[in-house]
Structure 1
Amino acid sequence: MSTTNGAESGGGGVGEEERLARAALTRVLEPGDEHGGRWLRELGPRELLARLTSEPYRRGALGGVTERRLQGLRIRAADAEPERDLAAVDAVGGRFVVPGDAEWPRQLDDLGDARPVGLWVRGRAGLRPWALRSVAVVGARACTPYGAHMAASLASGLAERGWVVVSGAAFGVDGAAHRGALAVDGATVAVLACGVDVPYPRGHAGLIGRIAEQGLLVGELPPGAHPTRSRFILRNRVIAALTRGTVVVEAEYRSGSLVTARSAQRLGRYTMGVPGPATSGLSAGVHELLRGEAVLVTDAAEVAELVGDIGELAPARRGPVLPRDLLGPVSARVLEALPPRGTPVTARDAARGAGTGVDETLGSLYELHSLGYVERHGQGWQLTAEAMRRPNTRRGGA
């Protein structure tokens, strides 16, 4: 099997017979099949495949499921042609990565018996090093312009900080996230619910092609396999396990994106949400997450601060610095003590209002005069017209 294009070798310590058996089993077992995962753990891939293909079949060779279910698995196993599938993925510049390979992302082992049998990977980069510094950005297919903007902005900001953006290549938020990373020549991974040689959705054929060139396409299903509703849902557990955290941008109450987020929570990964309008049904699911254990984020810096290493801090948030913010405490009190435009007051009157001495009040008045806040009329002082127009120069923002 080819390992061209700079990817890590898929060989590792895994024998060719085991690789062939696992490739065959991706045709037999559905993603996330925990019965199949238990059989794999207890028997190993070669023995499991042997029991599924043995003739005559020995009843009770595999427990935990009905005989009807086993018959269906045996039919699939009889039709599996792993050599053909491995040749097909090699033809599109891909490879088959299995547990025990150097490229296998070990965080997927957290899924237990729901761990993928193996991963079909297409692209030049090594999956494991990319996954170690990755964040999932997911959300609604029918997203709003706000959702698309936030997804693209988060993804581009994360990519510029050296993070890999992972999503599902669907319409809406997923597509916007991938495009945001690609726009800044960043790294992105699309986890598919079909074969890595199948452009789905078809409207994203161009985008998926770009990801294959610049990033990685990853899937549990062998070449040529098409998606189903259940495969989309089960794909989300891989997105959650592969990454350090999941950001949900827009999601209704019944959304596959929430499945990803809740999987991330169960796995001990960070779960984040981007808030939307309280009246938006597309943000209702995100807000429900935020009422629980999810963390509110609004930009890439806040995401990186949460999932990153020590020192990756978001900048302190505050409003704009106004000239008045730079005044000393005495001058600020004197400015507050001056009445609105009208009869000028003396330095003594200003000192009484500010609770300061006359000399220091007079010094503050001259400072305020040089800054354009007050003007002098004989022995009296009053606010300038400009000071009255400036925000936050009076109590209440007058």
Structure 2
Amino acid sequence: MDPHPRPHVARRPRTPGRPPRLGTTRRAVRPGPPRRRPRRTPGHRRPRDDARPGHVRGPRRRPRRPHDHPARQRRPTPAHHLRTGVAPRHPRRHRHPRPGGGHGRHPTPGHRTALPAVLPALGPAERRHLPEPPAPPPAAPDPPPATGATPFPGTSDRRLDGWRRRAADTRPEHDLDAIHAHGGRLVIPGDTEWPRQLDDLGDTRPIGLWIHGRADLRTWALRSVALVGARACTPYGAHTATTLASDLAERGWVVVSGAAYGIDGAAHRGALAARGATVAVLACGVDTPYPRGHAGLIRRITEQGLVIGELPPGSHPTPSRFILRNRVIAALTRGTVVVEAEHRSGSLVTARAARRLGRHTMGVPGPVSSGLSAGVHELLRTDATLVTDVDDIVELIGDMGELAPERRGPVVPRDLLDPGCTRVLEALPARHAIPAAEIARRAGTSPDDTLARLYELHSLGFVERHTDDWKLTTRAIQRPNARRGGT
């Protein structure tokens, strides 16, 4: 008798007609409550019986399916092999190129040549899988006539096609009607109002300028200076720009800037506060005030100064158009003053463009701890001249023969003035100053037009301003052809 008897295991009766399974036994299910499976937390793995302590079983590998093996892939039939434009199912698994350079279903020139020869040997079933015969390639365009003209250097055919499409969509008559309805005008090279300073740009000269305002741009550009700087300026930079613009306007200079936030807006406000002349150069159409927050400022500039732009009405600003705007500012003025700028500021682009054009480049130093002064300090180390007040600016630009520290007389003869300026000039008294409303009544013009003419005459040295009143300058009275309309 066995001292260690095995426990009796109840076996399930074998199903008739089914061979027994060798080596398999099942325990009888004893009655009782069902066993609850423990809840598994995320990351929990069921331990194996033979697992070592601390050993974690890795994920199971997916068994390889038959079609995954390269040797068991279905070979394409000849009809599939000749199909064009069908990419292989597994392009990375075609390690060995086939004879003739073909990979999978990619046809080669040799296959296309052999296609007409094998078509008679194919049956109707194989022919159904063949694509339509490829269309013949388009005929090459006729070469242009040999007229001796050469294409633009550095210009691709794609860019030329884009220019042709844009030129076909242009409507110059519509743009002219829009600017006239807005109260502006278009000035092109050769007009009497065209600033000759822009001719220094050479091939990059604008083909025209859209102007909104009553003053004459050519006469204002004779004594103009640009004040540019950072948009996110500091209170120190805004105060400096406002002070410089106000002092320049009082000395008869026209302040030119870009009407942007920061230094540009402070420069325009300083000139307007001194009741001086200012010009805003926009990177969009003159009928589209940008930025939107400066719509009121641009409207004031239009009433008291000029708003100009290179783009037709309705154009919107883009990053590349700001760079084009900067070159106009640099070429239009006698010098450029940078108040605050970072290392990669657009104001530095304007200053360097002015330097290349032979204009004076100036910079106002700032705190060494401010990042907005880093670009100005870098400019001062290389190209620019350090200025701290309006006397430094006037003295530097006066060396060019346009202005001296002392106020000068008229820079152009009275005979070259337009009839509107001549009518306002004749209405001015010689010995005492009168308000602009009285001058408008004597000249028979509107108050706004009279004020614009007075600023233009002030920039030319014919009149001077005393608070809100105007009078002729001493040099203008002493001219032999000066006719005084008043006592």
TM-score in terms of structure 1 length: 0.63
Match of 1:122 among 212, 237, 241: 212
Which range moved further: 305-314 or 267-276? 305-314
> Shift in Å at residue 57 of structure 1?
11
SS in structure 2 opposite 1:306?
Answer: helix
Structure 1 residue corresponding to 2:275, chosen from 185, 188, 206: 185
How far residue 234 of structure 1 moved from its aligned partner, in angstroms, is 1.7
Q: Which of 297, 312, 320 in structure 1 is aligned with 2:404?
A: 312
Aligned residue for 2:241?
Answer: 151
- Structure 1 stretches of 4+ with a deviation exceeding 4 A read 56-62
* Amino acid corresponding to residue 312 of structure 1 in structure 2: A
Q: CA deviation at 1:312?
A: 2.5
Q: Is the 8 A contact 2:213 2:302 kept in 1?
A: yes
Provide the secondary structure at the position in 2 that maps to 1:154: helix
Within 5 Å, give how 1:154-233 maps onto structure 2: 154-233=244-323
Alpha carbons of 1:310 and 1:185: their partners in 2 closer, same or farther (altered >3 Å)?
closer
- Partner in structure 2 of residue 296 of structure 1: 386
The structure with the larger Rg is: 2
Give the distance between the partners of 2:294 and 2:403, measured in 1 at CA: 37
Structure 1 residue 58: deviation in Å? Answer: 5.4
Counterpart-to-counterpart distance in 2, 1:104 and 1:58 = 37
Matches within 5 A, 1:198-347: 198-308=288-398, 309=401, 312-313=404-405
CA deviation string 1:174-201 (max 9, x = no partner): 0000000000110000011000000100
The answer (yes or no) to whether the contact 2:394–2:403 under 8 Å persists in 1 is no
Cα distance in 2 for partners of 1:310, 1:85 equals 36
Amino acid aligned to 1:94 = G
**For 1:86, what is the secondary structure of its paired residue?**
helix
Give me the identity figure in percent: 74
Pairing 1:63–2:155 present? no
Secondary structure in structure 1 of the residue aligned to 2:177: helix
Counterpart CA distance in 1 for 2:165 and 2:310 is: 20
CA distance in 2, matches of 1:310, 1:73: 41
| In structure 1, C-alpha distance between the alignment counterparts of 2:309 and 2:357, rounded to whole Å | 20
* 1:297-340 per-position Cα deviation (integer Å, ceiling 9, x unaligned): 111121111112487249xxxxxxxxxxxxxxxxxxxxxxxxxx
Matched, 1:133 2:223: yes
Query: 1:339 maps to which residue?
Result: none
Q: Is the 8 A contact 2:397 2:403 kept in 1?
A: no
Q: What amino acid does structure 2 have at the position aligned with 1:159?
A: A
Shift of 1:218: 0.8
Q: CA deviation at 1:293?
A: 2.6
Structure 2 residues without counterparts, runs of 5 or longer: 1-141, 407-487
Query: Offset at 1:279?
Result: 1.4
Query: Residue 187 of structure 2 contacts residue 194 of structure 2 at CA under 8 Å; is this kept in 1?
Result: yes
What are the Cα deviations for residues 239-274 of structure 1, in whole angstroms up to 9, with x where unaligned? 000000000000000000000000010001000000
Q: Which amino acid aligns with 1:205?
A: A
The CA deviation at 1:62 is 4.2
Counterpart for residue 50 of structure 1: none
Q: Is the 8 A contact 1:302 1:313 kept in 2?
A: no
Mark the CA change 1:145 to 1:101 in structure 2 (over 3 Å): closer, same or farther: same
State the 1:213 CA deviation.
Answer: 0.9
State the TM-score, normalizing by the size of structure 2: 0.52
Whole-Å separation in 2 of the counterparts to 1:225 and 1:311: 37
Tell whether the 8 Å contact from 1:272 to 1:294 is kept in structure 2 after alignment: yes
Task: Please tell me whether the aligned partners of residues 341 and 372 of structure 2 are also in contact (alpha carbons under 8 angstroms).
Answer: yes
Alpha-carbon distance in structure 2 between the residues aligned to 1:207 and 1:135: 19
**Unaligned stretches of 5+ in structure 1?**
1-55, 315-398
Aligned-partner residue type, residue 222 of structure 1: P
The 8 Å contact of residues 135 and 246 in structure 1, kept in 2 or not, is answered as yes
Corresponding position: 1:79 with 2:169: yes
Contact persistence 1:193–1:231 (CA under 8 A):
yes
Compared CA separation, residues 270 and 223, structure 1 to 2 (3 A): same
Give how far 1:108 is off: 0.5
Q: Secondary structure at the match of 1:162?
A: coil
* TM-aligned CA deviation for residue 63 of structure 1: 2.8
Does the 8 A contact of 1:169 with 1:191 survive in 2? yes
Aligned residue identity for 1:229: P
How many residue pairs match? The answer is 259
| Amino acid corresponding to residue 314 of structure 2 in structure 1 | G
Q: Taking structure 1 as reference, are residues 142 and 257 closer, same or farther at Cα in structure 2, changes over 3 Å only?
A: same
- Is 1:142 matched up with 2:232? yes
For residues 296 and 80 of structure 1, the distance between their equivalents in structure 2, rounded to whole angstroms, comes to: 46
Distance in 2, matches of 1:203 and 1:211, equals 14
Counterpart CA distance in 2 for 1:183 and 1:113 is 38
**What is the alpha-carbon distance in structure 1 between the residues aligned to residue 234 and residue 150 of structure 2?**
52
Distance in 2 (CA, whole Å) between partners of 1:99 and 1:259 is: 25
Letter in 2 for 1:252: E
Change (3 A) 1:119 1:57: farther
Deviations 1:83-115 (A, max 9, x none): 110111111111110110001101101011011
Query: Pick from 183, 190, 196: which aligns with 1:100?
Result: 190
